[in-house]
């Protein structure tokens, strides 16, 4: 009798799961993209922080970072940055922790048109410090993976962000995974290679990876900050992670990528401590 009740309970849970594949997770006030060009909500895969929600408030001149449980991680002010034309200025691109330099701080591209005849691109970190500036602009930003999309594959499951007419944005959890050609084309830096854990590491660390369908072999390659190769491992689709030893390399910052048929994935950062 007890086993029958357990079986009925399991079947009930399965039916509930099938009946409700869309799970509401969180509402972000005044983050709708369609009702105001001043707002934006996206998911960014940071090299050290991992997947995080990034909310841009152009009217309030701030960027808020939230973890996957929607807890506030930090707020970045851009009130002192140069102004641009139009309510949708500026564009924020390429949020990263290791793209523009090697420290763990968040950095990003800030692009706008100050006047009708000029452009401006600045690379800033989370403290508002200018790392680089020029009068050119990333004119092709509409196709880069940092712009907002509606559906993201993340380490916490697949998420769908919808914008509403009242100005809000809501996050919904999805039961499946986005695996279409559109996803691969629009998210080339967010697939294939995961963040090392633990990181920093003293002795060993695990590197998650996924080989694309139809690919049977790849190589994980590690470099030091001078760009010299320090380790190389051949991987296949038998497993989805690789445990490596770091005891034979000096303390410091290292970078790694997944190389497949001559193409390299986005580069990740690993810190070794002694």
Domain closes at, from 154, 186, 218 = 186
Are β-strands 263-264 and 229-236 bridged in parallel, bridged antiparallel, or unpaired? unpaired
Pair (42, 123) in one structural domain? yes
Say what the pLDDT of residue 143 is: 37
- Say yes or no to pLDDT of 61 above 50: yes
Say what the pLDDT of residue 262 is: 66
Pair (83, 170) in one structural domain? yes
CATH of the domain at 245: 2.60.40.10
Are the C-beta atoms of residues 48 and 104 closer than 8 Å to each other?
yes
Question: Does residue 2 belong to any structural domain of this protein?
Answer: no
With a pLDDT cut of 90, the percent of the chain lying above it is: 25
The rounded distance, in Å, linking the Cα atoms of 128 and 175 is 39
In 3-state terms, the chain is what percent helix, strand and coil (to 5)? 10, 45, 45
Question: Does residue 147 belong to any structural domain of this protein?
Answer: yes
- What are 231-247's pLDDT values in tens digits? 999 998 888 888 999 99
Number of domains in the chain: 2
Pair (128, 182) in one structural domain? yes
- What are 168-199's pLDDT values in tens digits? 889 998 887 766 434 433 444 444 788 888 88
Say what the pLDDT of residue 147 is: 42
The rounded distance, in Å, linking the Cα atoms of 17 and 176 is 12
- Say yes or no to pLDDT of 49 above 90: no
Say what the pLDDT of residue 226 is: 82
With a pLDDT cut of 70, the percent of the chain lying above it is: 79
Are the C-beta atoms of residues 254 and 272 closer than 8 Å to each other?
yes
Contacts within 8 Å (CB) and 24+ apart, 240-244: 240/208, 240/209, 240/210, 241/194, 241/206, 241/207, 241/208, 241/209, 242/206, 242/207, 242/209, 243/204, 243/205, 243/206, 244/204, 244/205, 244/206, 244/207, 244/220
Question: Does residue 7 belong to any structural domain of this protein?
Answer: no
- Say yes or no to pLDDT of 141 above 60: no
Query: How much is the pTM?
Result: 0.59
**Mean pLDDT, the chain, as a whole number?**
79
Mapped onto helix, strand or coil, the DSSP state of residue 100 is: coil
Say what the pLDDT of residue 246 is: 92
Average pLDDT over every residue of 21-25: 88
Average pLDDT over every residue of 107-126: 88
Pair (61, 140) in one structural domain? yes
Question: Does residue 128 belong to any structural domain of this protein?
Answer: yes
Pair (36, 67) in one structural domain? yes
Pair (166, 246) in one structural domain? no
Question: Does residue 192 belong to any structural domain of this protein?
Answer: no
Alpha-helical (H) ranges within the chain are: 2-19, 181-186
Render 194-262 in DSSP notation, one character per residue.
Answer: ---BSSSBSSEEEEEB-PPTT--EEEEEEEETTS-EEEEEEEETT-SEEEEE-TTS-SEEEEEEEEETT
Say what the pLDDT of residue 146 is: 40
Are the C-beta atoms of residues 127 and 105 closer than 8 Å to each other?
yes
Helices (H) and strands (E) in the chain, counts: 2, 19
Say what the pLDDT of residue 245 is: 92
pLDDT top residue among 24 and 7: 24
Q: Two tokens at 180?
A: 């279409």
Q: How far lies 175's CA from each of 151, 157, 207, 251, 262, in Å?
A: 12, 8, 25, 41, 34
Q: How far lies 49's CA from each of 173, 194, 234, 246, in Å?
A: 20, 11, 26, 21
Query: What is the domain range of residue 228?
Result: 204-272
- Say yes or no to pLDDT of 28 above 90: yes
Say what the pLDDT of residue 234 is: 92
């Amino acid at each position: 009798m007890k086993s029958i009740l357990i079986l009925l309970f399991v079947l009930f849970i399965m039916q509930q799961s099938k009946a409700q594949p869309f799970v509401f997770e969180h509402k972000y006030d005044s983050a709708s993209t369609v009702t105001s060009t001043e707002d934006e909500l996206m998911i960014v895969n940071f090299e050290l922080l991992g997947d995080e929600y990034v909310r841009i408030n152009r009217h309030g001149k701030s960027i808020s970072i939230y973890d996957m449980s929607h807890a506030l991680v930090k707020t970045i002010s851009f009130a002192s940055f140069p102004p641009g034309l139009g309510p949708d200025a500026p564009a924020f691109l390429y949020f990263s922790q290791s793209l523009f330099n090697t420290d763990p701080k968040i950095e990003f591209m800030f692009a706008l048109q100050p006047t009708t005849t000029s452009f401006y691109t600045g690379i800033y970190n989370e403290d508002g410090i200018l790392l680089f500036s020029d009068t050119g602009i990333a004119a092709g930003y509409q196709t880069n993976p940092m712009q907002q999309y509606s559906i993201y594959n993340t380490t916490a499951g697949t998420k769908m962000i919808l914008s509403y007419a009242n100005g809000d944005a809501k996050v919904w959890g999805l039961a499946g995974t986005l695996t279409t050609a559109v996803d691969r084309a629009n998210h080339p830096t967010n697939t294939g290679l995961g963040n090392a854990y633990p990181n920093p590491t003293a002795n060993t660390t695990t590197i998650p990876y996924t080989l694309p369908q139809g690919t049977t072999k790849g190589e994980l390659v590690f470099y030091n900050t001078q760009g010299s190769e320090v380790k190389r491992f051949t991987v296949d689709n038998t497993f989805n992670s690789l445990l490596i030893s770091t005891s034979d390399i000096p303390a410091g910052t290292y970078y790694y990528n997944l190389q497949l048929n001559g193409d390299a994935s986005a580069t990740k950062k690993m810190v070794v401590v002694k």
